[in-house]
Amino acid sequence: MNKIPQIKIAIASGKGGTGKTFVSTNLFYTLYKKGNKVTLIDCDAEEPNAKLFFEYNFVKDINVFQKNPVIDVSKCTFCGKCHEYCNYNSIFILPNMNVIKVIEDLCHGCGACKVACKFDAITEKDFSLGKVNHYKINDNAHIVEACLNVGISSPVPVIKRALKEGSKTDNIILLDSPPGTSCPFIQTSLGADYILLVTEPTPFGLSDLKQAIATLKILHKPFGVVINRSGIGNSDVKDYLEKENIQILLDIPFDRDIASIYSKGNILAKERLKWFDKFSYLFDLINNSYGNSSN
Ligand code: SF4
Ligand code: SF4
């Protein structure tokens, strides 16, 4: 088998519940079964669940911290400078009542308040954001998982750490992206060579797909589309893609057999050979398309 050069593919969708993890896990399975070295990075940090479809061994976990401010009230003059500098409304202050507090869950650990304070009233402490878990399916296949603590506002630092951990090898890398088109989606897409957008043929699917495509055009990232649950809803998604000249790389029908396999935590490409071939072909299409776009 010819060695495939490293490529990072983000599997993303403009909204949750479109089948992003379904596509990621099937592509992952197909690639490692074909003898490729592949790492799946689960960037859906609020609800990572890709590993549940596989038998795995734990390799290691990494704690992710940020530096949060600690205010020494005995040194504080309640001047309010730190509150002014904070872009995230993370410092609550009532100067007339000599009250000041850091709202830890909103804090992004940027350090601006410490720079702002001229009275040496701010020091910093480690604040836990979550973990990165590393699992191994076999010597060729690894899963790295970003796992955010409950109540933390931004998953971006934990996702960044997971991307770093999962990108150490020259494996093919699949990124199961967080849903939506906000900062976590952008962070994951920036780290990818190619974005595979998973959508469904419904009005909500179309609206979110348009947003995701607009974002990727701004980022100048090559992308392709997978339609999941094809047959429900209407033809607006296909009409839009045709009009925009965007290729549908894979069309997965709304099918009782497929839904039943997935709902039992099984991998479609493992259970149905036809789908192994289809996911294999999907990767070939991406690899060719990326190869052409990067020439
Ligand atoms: S570290 Fe940054 S985000 Fe946190 S309280 Fe200070 S200024 Fe605000
Ligand atoms: S900048 Fe320093 S002195 Fe001023 S309110 Fe903040 S902590 Fe207190």
Q: Which residue has the CA at smallest separation from atom 4 of ligand 2?
A: 79
**Statement to judge: residues 232 and 189 lie in one domain:** yes
Do 184 and 94 share a structural domain?
Answer: no
Residues 240 and 261 in one domain: yes
Domain that holds residue 21: 8-60+130-294
Closest by Cα among 219, 168, 226 to 192: 219
| Burial bucket for residue 193 (CB in 10 Å: 0-12, 13-18, 19+) | middle
C-alpha 194/C-alpha 185 separation (Å) is 13
Residue recorded with tokens 């970003």: 146
Query: pLDDT per residue over 212-233, tens digit each?
Result: 898 889 988 899 999 998 888 7
- pTM of the entire predicted model: 0.86
31 and 134 belong to one structural domain: yes
Instruction: Identify the band that residue 111 occupies on the pLDDT scale cut at 50, 70 and 90.
Output: very high
Q: Is 67 among the domain residues? A: no
Closest atom, ligand 1, to C-alpha of 116: 7
In a domain, 1, yes or no: no
Amino acid at 221: K
Give yes or no: residues 222 and 149 share one domain: yes
CA of 81 to the centre of ligand 2 (A): 6
Q: Is 231 a pocket residue for ligand 2 (Cβ < 6 Å)?
A: no
Q: Tell me the pLDDT band of 98, cut-offs 50, 70 and 90.
A: very high
What is the rounded CA–CA span in Å between residue 86 and residue 75?
19
Is the beta carbon of 79 within 6 A of some atom in ligand 2? yes
In a shared domain, residues 87 and 194: no
35 and 168 belong to one structural domain:
yes
The answer to whether residues 205 and 288 belong to one domain is yes
- Claim to verify: residue 87 and residue 228 sit in the same structural domain: no
Decide if 3 is inside a domain: no
Instruction: List, for residues 135-184, the tens digit of each pLDDT value.
Output: 999 999 999 999 999 988 788 899 999 999 998 877 899 999 887 777 77
More confident residue, 64 or 171: 64
- Length of the chain equals 295
Task: List 129's β-bridge partners, or say none.
Answer: none
Is 290 within the bounds of a domain?
A: yes
Q: What is the pLDDT of residue 295?
A: 42
User: Cα separation of 215 and 182, whole Å?
Assistant: 9
Higher confidence at residue 74 or residue 203? 74
Site to probe by mutation for ligand 1, drawn from 65, 76, 90 as the one with most ligand atoms within 8 Å of Cβ, is 90
Same domain, 250 and 175: yes
Answer whether residue 4 shows pLDDT above 70.
Answer: no
The yes-or-no verdict on residue 78 having pLDDT over 80 is yes
Q: Is the CB of 112 under 6 A from ligand 1?
A: yes
Alpha-carbon Rg of the chain, whole angstroms?
A: 22
Number of domains in the chain: 2
Residue of minimum CA distance from atom 2 in ligand 2: 117
Average pLDDT of the segment spanning 267-291: 93
Q: What pLDDT score was predicted for residue 105?
A: 85
User: Do 104 and 169 share a domain, yes or no?
Assistant: no
Is the same domain home to 148 and 194?
A: yes
